[in-house]
Amino acid sequence: MSTVISQVLTTVNAPYSVKVSAHELAAKLQDPASAASFDASAFAFFSEVSPKLQTEFLDEMGVSRADAVAVATLFSDAAGYKLPLAA
């Protein structure tokens, strides 16, 4: 497991006592349903992981940046504040 993936998973898994894998998280970051259900691990990624690490994770996991921006924007709208990756 790369350092990027390890750091991201530590950030999104630890506070919420969940065990999402890198592939599961990558899928959630591209799925608007994650924002509709206010998925805790996806929200933690967009709100608690540094923007640099977000970009590195998206690149490493092959996540569409456009899709991730769309989901981050949905989370941002729901949360009522601007998230770094939101448009």
pLDDT at 87 over 90: no
pTM (predicted TM-score): 0.93
Under the banding of pLDDT at 50, 70 and 90, the label for residue 57 is very high
pLDDT at 39 over 90: yes
pLDDT of residue 67: 97
Average pLDDT over residues 5-20: 87
Residue 52 CB-density burial (10 A; 0-12 exposed, 13-18 middle, 19+ buried): exposed
Q: Is the dihedral of CA 59, 60, 62, 63 positive or negative?
A: negative
DSSP code of residue 81: S
pLDDT at 53 over 90: yes
pLDDT at 16 over 80: no
